[in-house]
Amino acid sequence: MRIIMHIDVNNAFLSWTAVELLQQGYPVDIRTIEAVIGGDESMRHGIVLAKSPIAKKKGVKTAETLREARRKCDHLKIFPPNYPWYQKMSQKMFDVIAKYTPDFEIISIDECFIDYTLVHRLYGDPIAFAHRLKDEIYQTLGFTVNVGIANNKLCAKMASDFEKPNKVHTLWKEEIPEKMYPLEIGELYGVGKKTAMKLRELSITTVGELAHAEETFLKRYFKNQALPLILKAQGIDESPVVSESSESKGISTSRTFAYNLRELPVIYQNLQLLVEKVANSLRESNRYAKVVGVTIRDKNFKTYSHQKRLLNATSHTEEILKTVKELFLELWDEEPIRLLGVSLTGLTSSLERQLSLFEEEEIVEKSSSLDKVLDELKKQYGEDIIKKASLLDHNLSKK
DNA sequence: TCTGGGGTCCTAGGACCC
DNA sequence: TCTGGGGTCCTAGGACCC
């Protein structure tokens, strides 16, 4: 039987900002007051990214609007996120874990799984080890984590979500009926809003009820998802802890604008910025994209997307931008635009380029070396050092 | 002051081929 | 003037996660 642990930072963004503020001499620990981490409302980024326990008690939920959160808390303090700092804290936590075992899988900035099975004999009782790890993270880094211990990833993840903060919980196989079956159906990992609603309509309101549901009955409503749902509810999961970080399958970026965009030149300038960003990280990962995609969100928050498979994989900014503009024009219905997004998928690490005409090859060579020079300059002198003429024109004309 | 940003995986339908 | 079915690839969109 495997022993798997799930480490989860309590209120990650809020805790990390609390640590940052305390280090800067801020007089209160924002974990102890009505506080949230939230975006800039004037930029239309006004949602709750993380909340303090007291804000949570007053009903504040992640992803709701700051206005809504303010309505629920009389003395709400709102702090902006500091992503580079979060990245640093995250790395430090994983460094602590890596001291003990290489056998862990990072799943997001504030979470990982440890496969304890093999190091069991080395470090002994898993519960004692979990406490040691949790306390070391708190003492050296200043924030708390929850640790869930179980026989698979799903149950470890469920266990770390039990009582918070700063706790160690187990959810061994034999504890599943007692600890997991009473949970509300929406609390099951992998069951979101929509699925929970559908299940409730079928009078399935707890994890236990789903665990005992008839597959043939559920199949009518969930097709091939019926069995995976039942297995999850039964706490069955064979997926392994994958330690070597696998490369992402796609690279994307998007931006919500402070004002809706209507004019093509402005739209093109923004598309260019987005393309430069994704193409840059594509080249940084030494890969090429075969599929280019564009996303538009209109003023009514409706989202559309359009994608296209290229003849040849590429990492050239200009080549991607050309495709992005084409896709955009095919997609856009001239409604004012709230958000633009660009995605690169179908990533390969080798350049499987079909043989093309000599001249074409030459153009590719040239623009490839131009991209490299630009990337290098940006790395040395920062993002702002190089702006394409069209962007400069825009900036100048604004001033 | 309505509703962020970056991902993964799945499904359904159409095109195309045999 | 008729016509089945399987396989594969591609695209759009939905659901879910942090």
pLDDT for A141-152, tens place per residue?
A: 999 999 999 999
Per-residue pLDDT for A392 more than 60? no
**Over residues A215-221, mean pLDDT:** 93
A105 touches strand C (CB under 7 A): no
Q: What is the pLDDT of residue A368?
A: 74
Do both A164 and A280 map to the same domain? no
Looking at the domain assignment, is residue A243 inside a domain?
Answer: no
CA–CA distance from A360 to each of A236, A291, A319, A326 (Å)? Answer: 54, 20, 12, 20
Do both A26 and A129 map to the same domain? yes
Do both A26 and A121 map to the same domain? yes
How is residue A178 written in tokens? 């007692």
Report the protein residue whose CA lies nearest the C1' of nucleotide B10. A225
CATH number of domain containing A155: 3.30.70.270
CATH number of domain containing A225: 1.10.150.20
Looking at the domain assignment, is residue A241 inside a domain?
Answer: no
| R_g (Cα) of chain A, nearest Å | 25
Q: In A124-148, which positions are buried (b, 16+ CB within 10 angstroms) versus exposed (e)?
A: eebeebbeebbeebeeebbbbbbbb
Do both A165 and A207 map to the same domain? no
Q: What is the pLDDT of residue A350?
A: 78
How many distinct structural domains can be found in chain A? 3
Least confident span in A124-128, A130-134, A348-352: A348-352
Peptide linkage before A165 cis (omega within 30 of 0): yes
Do both A8 and A135 map to the same domain? yes
DSSP A117: T
Residue with tokens 């990390």: A16
Q: What is the pLDDT of residue A383?
A: 61
Q: Which residue has the higher pLDDT, A360 or A205?
A: A205
| Euclidean distance between CA atoms A116 and A240, whole angstroms | 12
Per-residue pLDDT for A376 more than 80? no
Do both A198 and A155 map to the same domain? no
Q: What is the pLDDT of residue A387?
A: 58
Q: Judge contact between A373 and A381, C-beta under 8 A.
A: no
Do both A135 and A48 map to the same domain? yes
A305 touches strand C (CB under 7 A): yes
Q: What is the pLDDT of residue A69?
A: 96
pLDDT (tens digit per residue) in A42-55: 999 999 999 999 99
How is residue A288 written in tokens? 């090429």
Per-residue pLDDT for A56 more than 80? yes
Do both A143 and A113 map to the same domain? yes
Footprint of strand B on the protein (CB under 7 A): A 39-42, 44-47, 49, 62-63, 65, 67, 223-225, 248-256, 281, 300-301, 339, 341
Task: For residue A369, name the pLDDT band (cuts at 50, 70, 90).
Answer: confident
Cβ-proximal residues to A286 (8 Å cutoff; 6+ apart), any chain = A349
Do both A280 and A227 map to the same domain? no
Looking at the domain assignment, is residue A244 inside a domain?
Answer: no
- Provide, in whole angstroms, the distance separating residue A223's CA from nucleotide B12's C1': 12
A293 touches strand C (CB under 7 A): yes
Residue with tokens 């993002």: A383
Do both A146 and A222 map to the same domain? no
Per-residue pLDDT for A357 more than 60? no
Of A248, A235, A221, nearest to A189 by C-alpha is: A235
pLDDT (tens digit per residue) in A225-247: 999 999 999 999 999 999 988 89
Do both A90 and A119 map to the same domain? yes
**Which of the listed residues A172, A203, A221 is the one where a domain comes to its end?**
A172
Chain-centroid distance, C-alpha A11? 15
Q: What is the pLDDT of residue A397?
A: 42
Of A85, A82, A61, A81, nearest to A73 by C-alpha is: A61
Q: What is the pLDDT of residue A359?
A: 42
Chain-centroid distance, C-alpha A163? 23
Report the protein residue whose CA lies nearest the C1' of nucleotide C14. A194
**Angle, vertex CA A340, rays to CA A388 and CA A368, nearest 5:** 40
Judged by DSSP in three states, A212 sits in coil
Looking at the domain assignment, is residue A245 inside a domain?
Answer: no
**Over residues A352-372, mean pLDDT:** 59
Q: Judge contact between A36 and A45, C-beta under 8 A.
A: no
A268 burial class (0-12, 13-18, 19+ CB within 10 angstroms)? Answer: middle
Give the alpha-carbon dihedral of A376, A381, A387, A389, to 10 degrees. -90
Is A111 annotated as catalytic? yes
Q: Judge contact between A7 and A27, C-beta under 8 A.
A: no
Looking at the domain assignment, is residue A334 inside a domain?
Answer: yes
Task: For residue A395, name the pLDDT band (cuts at 50, 70, 90).
Answer: very low
> Of residues A105, A111, A276, A319, which has the active-site annotation?
A111
- Provide, in whole angstroms, the distance separating residue A360's CA from nucleotide B4's C1': 40
How is residue A27 written in tokens? 């007089």
Q: Judge contact between A292 and A323, C-beta under 8 A.
A: yes
A249 touches strand C (CB under 7 A): no
**Over residues A360-388, mean pLDDT:** 67
**Over residues A357-385, mean pLDDT:** 65
Which range marks the domain in which residue A53 is found? 1-172
Q: What is the pLDDT of residue A353?
A: 59
Looking at the domain assignment, is residue A238 inside a domain?
Answer: no
Report the protein residue whose CA lies nearest the C1' of nucleotide C18. A108
Looking at the domain assignment, is residue A78 inside a domain?
Answer: yes
pLDDT (tens digit per residue) in A64-80: 999 999 999 999 999 99
CATH number of domain containing A327: 3.30.1490.100
Chain-centroid distance, C-alpha A377? 29
Do both A69 and A154 map to the same domain? yes
Q: What is the pLDDT of residue A370?
A: 74
What average pLDDT does chain A have? Answer: 92
Task: For residue A358, name the pLDDT band (cuts at 50, 70, 90).
Answer: very low
Q: What is the pLDDT of residue A366?
A: 64
**Which of the listed residues A147, A172, A197 is the one where a domain comes to its end?**
A172
Task: For residue A316, name the pLDDT band (cuts at 50, 70, 90).
Answer: very high
| Euclidean distance between CA atoms A140 and A265, whole angstroms | 51
**Over residues A181-196, mean pLDDT:** 96
Judged by DSSP in three states, A340 sits in strand
